């Protein structure tokens, strides 16, 4: 069962930025004649820079995440199934596929998108994995997601919603998180030219397929959350990949003609200032938006904050966003102040807040901060509202996403 739950990890996208006039510049993936660099970009599918993005992630639908749909994983009866890779690897094909098809048919429906539109939102962010296009190296993933992506685009067209297609998982995993498709201690995407080439090919396919559908598909995020915290090798590969993706997304026709799809690049867990002078509009880059994610719950220090400190940290983050060197959106965020949600830290892992996560120290019990919102105290609800308002005040707005089954 899906629900709207104010304690879930909320997701968001924001833009409250000045209108800038850019001139396109080529990236290595799509060479462009210098004489054509003065061509103006076509009108974006959404008036970025003058109208705020108000959006929500369709999380857990076309990419499985144990914390969003724990029932799918618990229902396998196999504790070794911890991500979508093992969901296919450790189950009979027909059994796993039947569960996935039922999930794809029921997790997000037209009525969900209609409710999103009725709530005043204008965007959805659609996570999808590389395996929807390519399992040519024998990966145990199941395919069949693309008809649902296209159905969602059709629904969005009917309802007047925009979509950002987000490649949430890449070959080898870009971060080692279960939401990349394959949980592992160290990501391997950046270590293999084959992995990167396969990912670039998928982005080319995405751009060529949807560049004519900017009435709905206004942006493509070529990779979710590459793990820049692992060091310079990841960051170097990521930076080059953003340039490659710029060419693939902004120039989808294989020549100097620009498309109208915007590229959303992830901050790779770096301070926004790290991206100073990267793809600057002064050098001709156009249609680039920096996507940052804000969670104040994934370290012992963060879950030990008081409610006031959580609010203060959110406000400080807002100031960073205002000073960002690029158009900036907050693609994911939360009003949670704990990491208590089931499987949030991976299936079988506990929480830092209650000390059940390896290496953590007890802060408090999770009991009163999880479950149905009907059980929350008036004091807790007041904090959630205050925390929400702190994160939607000023230059950015944030919006909730469907919770878990």
Catalytic positions: 225, 332
Q: 3-state DSSP call for residue 53? A: coil
**Closest to 200 in 3D by CA, of 146, 155, 134:** 134
**Closest to 384 in 3D by CA, of 395, 373, 372:** 373
**Closest to 245 in 3D by CA, of 228, 220, 272:** 220
Edge-to-edge strand list for the sheet holding 288-294: 55-57, 123-129, 162-169, 217-221, 262-266, 288-294, 327-333
Q: What angle do CA 268, 309, 351 make, to 5 degrees?
A: 65
Query: Whole-angstrom Cα distance, residue 257 to residue 25?
Result: 11
CB 256 within 8 A of CB 246: no
The HSE-up count of residue 348 (CA atoms within 13 Å, CB side) is 10
- Give residues with Cβ within 8 angstroms of 39, minimum separation 6: 24, 256, 257, 258
| Structure-token pair, residue 330 | 């907050």
Write out the H or E segment, with its range, that includes residue 164. strand 162-169
CB 361 within 8 A of CB 355: yes
């Amino acid at each position: 069962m899906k629900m709207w739950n104010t304690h879930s990890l909320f997701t968001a996208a924001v833009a409250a930025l000045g209108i800038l006039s850019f001139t396109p510049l080529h990236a290595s993936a799509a060479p462009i004649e210098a004489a054509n660099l003065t061509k103006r970009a076509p009108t974006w599918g959404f008036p970025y820079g003058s109208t705020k993005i108000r959006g929500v992630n369709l999380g857990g639908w076309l990419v499985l995440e144990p914390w969003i749909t724990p029932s799918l994983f618990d229902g396998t009866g196999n504790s070794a199934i911890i991500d979508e890779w093992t969901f296919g690897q450790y189950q009979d094909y027909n059994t796993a596929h039947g569960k996935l098809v039922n999930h794809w048919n029921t997790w997000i429906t037209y009525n969900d998108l209609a409710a999103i539109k009725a709530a005043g939102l204008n965007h959805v962010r659609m996570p999808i994995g590389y395996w929807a296009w390519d399992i040519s190296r024998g990966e145990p993933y199941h395919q069949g997601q693309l008809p649902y992506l296209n159905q969602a685009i059709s629904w969005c067209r009917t309802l007047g919603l925009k979509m950002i297609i987000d490649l949430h998982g890449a070959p080898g995993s870009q971060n080692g998180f279960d939401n990349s498709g394959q949980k592992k201690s160290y990501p391997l995407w950046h270590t293999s030219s084959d992995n990167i080439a396969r990912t670039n090919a998928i982005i080319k396919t995405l751009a060529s397929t949807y560049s004519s559908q900017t009435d709905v598909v206004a942006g493509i995020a070529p990779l979710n959350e590459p793990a820049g915290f692992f060091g310079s090798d990841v960051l170097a590969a990521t930076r080059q990949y953003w340039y490659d993706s710029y060419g693939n997304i902004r120039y989808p026709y294989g020549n100097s003609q620009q498309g109208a799809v915007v590229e959303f690049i992830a901050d790779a867990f770096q301070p926004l200032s790290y991206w100073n002078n990267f793809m600057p509009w002064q050098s001709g880059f156009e249609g680039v938006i920096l996507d940052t994610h804000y969670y104040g719950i994934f370290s012992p220090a963060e879950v030990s904050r008081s409610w006031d400190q959580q609010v203060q940290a959110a406000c400080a983050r807002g100031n960073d966003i205002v000073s960002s060197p690029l158009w900036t959106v907050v693609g994911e965020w939360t009003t949670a102040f704990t990491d208590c949600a089931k499987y949030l830290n991976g299936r079988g892992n506990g929480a830092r807040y209650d000390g059940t996560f390896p290496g953590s120290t007890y802060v408090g019990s999770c009991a009163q901060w999880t479950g149905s919102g009907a059980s929350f105290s008036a004091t807790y609800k007041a904090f959630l509202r205050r925390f929400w308002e702190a994160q939607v005040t000023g230059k950015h707005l944030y919006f909730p996403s469907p919770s878990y089954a």
